[in-house]
């Protein structure tokens, strides 16, 4: 599924999320769905062998480097991470769309998005990494070693599995 379709579908999802209305907190979409999705995420890492006390199970070594995969099952959004996640989404969400001269918004194609991320500044890369690492509970040290395509794949899964966090960011800042 393309990112454009995912983003359109995301806005049609009916997962409950928290909003502020008239200086009070309320849950929107709660009457439609009380489903809490969880997901299975796979993140690949590359590190210097000297940075590890022991090699993870299934690790492969090439020269001084070690690559390994960690699986994260049954992941749901931790409430204490809400603001960090919303902040990261707020930083990256504008980069999913092209703003046209007439003010219309058009989603980027897969090729445009990869090119954009390849040439994006450090703030966008950091926001993507922070979003995925915060959501999955990966500490800062290990998060620095996530491989980019794993981060992009996890971000795509987040859009699929948890549209409510993107909608929450949109409502919170929109």
Let me know if residue 89 belongs to a domain. yes
Condensed to tens digits (0 to 9), the pLDDT of residues 107-154 reads: 667 677 777 778 888 888 898 999 999 999 999 999 999 999 899 889
Let me know if residue 20 belongs to a domain. yes
Let me know if residue 152 belongs to a domain. yes
Condensed to tens digits (0 to 9), the pLDDT of residues 26-68 reads: 445 544 444 445 678 999 999 999 999 999 999 999 999 999 9
78 vs 141: which has the higher pLDDT: 141
Residues in contact with 90: Cβ distance below 8 Å, sequence separation at least 6, in sequence order: 169, 172, 173
Look at residue 172 and tell me whether its pLDDT is greater than 80.
Answer: no
| Domain assignment of residue 97, given as a range | 3-36+76-173
The number of distinct structural domains making up the chain is: 1
> Residue 165, CB half-sphere, CA atoms under 13 Å: how many?
29
Let me know if residue 66 belongs to a domain. no
* Per-residue pLDDT at 31: 44
Let me know if residue 143 belongs to a domain. yes
pTM listed for this prediction: 0.69
Residue 61 and residue 55: Cα distance in Å, rounded?
9
Let me know if residue 135 belongs to a domain. yes
Let me know if residue 22 belongs to a domain. yes
Let me know if residue 29 belongs to a domain. yes
* Per-residue pLDDT at 9: 53
Starting from the edge strand earliest in sequence, which strands make up the sheet with 60-62, in order?
A: 39-48, 65-75, 60-62
């Amino acid at each position: 599924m393309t990112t454009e379709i995912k983003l359109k579908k995301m806005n049609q999802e009916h997962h409950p999320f928290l909003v502020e209305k008239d200086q009070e907190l309320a849950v929107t979409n709660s009457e439609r769905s009380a489903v809490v999705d969880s997901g299975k995420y796979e993140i690949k890492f590359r590190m210097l062998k000297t940075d590890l006390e022991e090699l993870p199970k299934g690790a492969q070594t090439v020269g001084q480097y070690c690559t390994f995969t960690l699986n994260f099952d049954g992941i749901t959004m931790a409430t204490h991470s809400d603001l960090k996640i919303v902040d990261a989404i707020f930083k990256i969400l504008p980069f999913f769309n092209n703003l046209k001269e007439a003010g219309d918004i058009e989603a980027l194609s897969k090729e445009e998005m990869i090119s954009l991320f390849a040439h994006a500044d450090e703030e966008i890369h950091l926001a993507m990494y922070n979003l995925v690492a915060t959501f999955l509970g990966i500490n800062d040290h290990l998060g620095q070693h996530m491989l980019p395509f794993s981060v992009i794949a996890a971000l795509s899964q987040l859009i699929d599995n948890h549209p409510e966090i993107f909608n929450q960011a949109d409502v919170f800042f929109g």
